[in-house]
Amino acid sequence: MNLLEHQNRYTDQADAVADIRIRGCWVEIDINAIRHNYRQLRRNLPQHVKIYGCLKRNAIGCGAGVVAAALAQESIDGFAVASIADAIAIRQRGVSSPILLYPGPGLEDARLIEANSLTISVSSIEELMQWRRVLTTTRLFMKLDLGFFRAGTTPAQLPELLRIAAEYPDVQVEGLYAHMSELPGSQNDKAEAQLARMHDTLRTIETSGHRPALVMMSSTEGVLEHPDMDFDAVDPGALLLGISEISEPARPIALRPALKAIATRLVSVKRVDASLGPVPDGPGFRSGMILGVMAMGWGDGLPRYLPNGMVGLVRGRRASLIGPSHLEHVRIDLTDIPEARFGDEVVLLGRQGEAMITRDEVAARWGTDIIGLYAGLRDHVPKLYV
Ligand SMILES: *Cc1c(COP(=O)(O)O)cnc(C)c1O
């Protein structure tokens, strides 16, 4: 689709289309795919299990505010983010659902936390006391480390932390959560060990009467592979955006990709002639070639070091990108597409006419994985929700 077609079709997104004109590059996010992924998950979870959509890193590049607004319409129970900026983006869309902040914000964010009704994470008595000093009411989830070796209190220290928290009327413990260490699918025994640690910990705090109302430990891999880890709530992120490394999950959830296209346009097209001197030595240059320049560079999220084999679609056909990558521009070889013109759309991911470049192909060629591709999307690049 070219810019004029975008403009006519997405009249509700005039700002995004105006941004595209200014930037010359954009990504397309399929908001219905995100709704679909959420509905699949909801249908496959027991009714009592709440869903906290993890929208950290600006919903992995897809736009925390817009994604949250769509999921709030689907009646999702809450959200979780690591940065206060993402939480504010969600509130600015008028979303009033609970938002849990993973470790990230500092004491200086106290006013923003209260003004936006956010729930913090706490991992130690020291942290709890520091937060109490700056917040009127400290609303929190306790974070528990089950063997990830990242943030979170140890299972041994949790009972004391909960006991002390219960002594203060200004402290409200809304939940308890843990995050599984990476790739439980490939390390099933490790997942089982973490689950066993969770059960032991819960037994202890149930005995002392300090079990929080919401216990949560399952994210994307957990909800797909380990229904026994549902507890009271789950906080998947990647899954909502259609990202998963599990090809045949235990739960029959078929995901649709949220990232539909990465596109830009040609800002220059010329036939190279002898008056330019000899063509550069680098791969991809040839004398007499038609050289195109795209309005997107590594400053917009393309790889800093352009790998071999990167392609774009122009007029429905594949053309090779030519390195090195520049901050705002990348060259493209249009010799075999002589009808290409200034202003034409270049699709780096997605469909153009009959031609298609898939997410898997882009991730492989760019030397990353799907989540790396999403997370590499830069926030200043306009997003069109299609
Ligand atoms: C990132 C994160 C999640 C979501 O993980 P996904 O793999 O994206 O589902 C859940 N909980 C915590 C604590 C996280 O840091």
User: What is the per-residue pLDDT for 187?
Assistant: 59
User: What is the per-residue pLDDT for 373?
Assistant: 97
Mean pLDDT of 287-310: 96
CATH 2.40.37.10 positions along the chain are 259-385
pLDDT (tens digit, 9 = 90+) per residue, 27-50?
Answer: 999 999 999 999 999 999 999 999
Distance 19 CA to ligand 1 centre (A): 31
Pocket of ligand 1 (CB under 6 A): 54, 56, 102, 179, 219-220, 235-239
- Residue 196 near residue 170, CB atoms below 8 Å: no
Mutation pick for ligand 1 pocket among 219, 221, 240, 244 (CB with most ligand atoms within 8 Å): 219
- Is the model's pLDDT at 179 over the cut of 80? yes
Mutation pick for ligand 1 pocket among 37, 102, 120, 142 (CB with most ligand atoms within 8 Å): 102
Distance 42 CA to ligand 1 centre (A): 17
Picking from 91, 89, 116, 120, the residue whose alpha carbon sits closest to that of residue 105 is 120
Distance 49 CA to ligand 1 centre (A): 17
| Three-class DSSP category at 113 | helix
Higher per-residue pLDDT: 1 or 76: 76
Class of domain 259-385: mainly beta
Picking from 85, 33, 37, 30, the residue whose alpha carbon sits closest to that of residue 58 is 85
- Is the model's pLDDT at 95 over the cut of 60? yes
Phi, psi of 43 (to 5 degrees): -65, -30
Torsion region of 331: left, alpha or beta (phi above 0 gives left; psi -120 to 50 gives alpha): beta
Which residues contact residue 128 at a Cβ distance below 8 angstroms, ignoring those fewer than 6 apart? 122, 138, 140, 161, 164, 165, 171
Distance 323 CA to ligand 1 centre (A): 35
- Is the model's pLDDT at 356 over the cut of 90? yes
Q: Whose CA is nearest to atom 7 of ligand 1?
A: 220
CB count in 10 Å sphere of residue 263: 27
Alpha helices in the chain (DSSP H): 3-9, 14-23, 31-44, 56-60, 64-73, 84-92, 110-115, 125-134, 158-166, 188-207, 220-225, 359-366, 370-375
User: What is the per-residue pLDDT for 12?
Assistant: 74
User: What is the per-residue pLDDT for 184?
Assistant: 43
Tokens (6 digits) for 328: 């705002």
**Residue 177 alpha carbon, nearest atom of ligand 1:** 13
pLDDT (tens digit, 9 = 90+) per residue, 247-261?
Answer: 899 999 999 999 999
Mean pLDDT of 156-181: 96
CATH 3.20.20.10 positions along the chain are 32-241
Phi, psi of 358 (to 5 degrees): -85, 165
**Residue 235 alpha carbon, nearest atom of ligand 1:** 10
**Residue 82 alpha carbon, nearest atom of ligand 1:** 15
User: What is the per-residue pLDDT for 296?
Assistant: 97
- Is the model's pLDDT at 24 over the cut of 60? yes
User: What is the per-residue pLDDT for 183?
Assistant: 52
Mutation pick for ligand 1 pocket among 41, 54, 144, 230 (CB with most ligand atoms within 8 Å): 54
% of the chain beyond a pLDDT of 70 = 96
Distance 159 CA to ligand 1 centre (A): 24
Provide the mean pLDDT of the chain: 94
pLDDT (tens digit, 9 = 90+) per residue, 203-241?
Answer: 999 999 999 999 999 999 999 999 999 999 999 999 999
Was domain 32-241 assigned CATH 3.20.20.10? yes
User: What is the per-residue pLDDT for 339?
Assistant: 98
Long-range CB contacts for residues 113-121, cutoff 8 Å, separation at least 24 = 113/84, 116/84, 116/87, 116/88, 116/91, 118/84, 118/87, 119/174, 121/151, 121/177
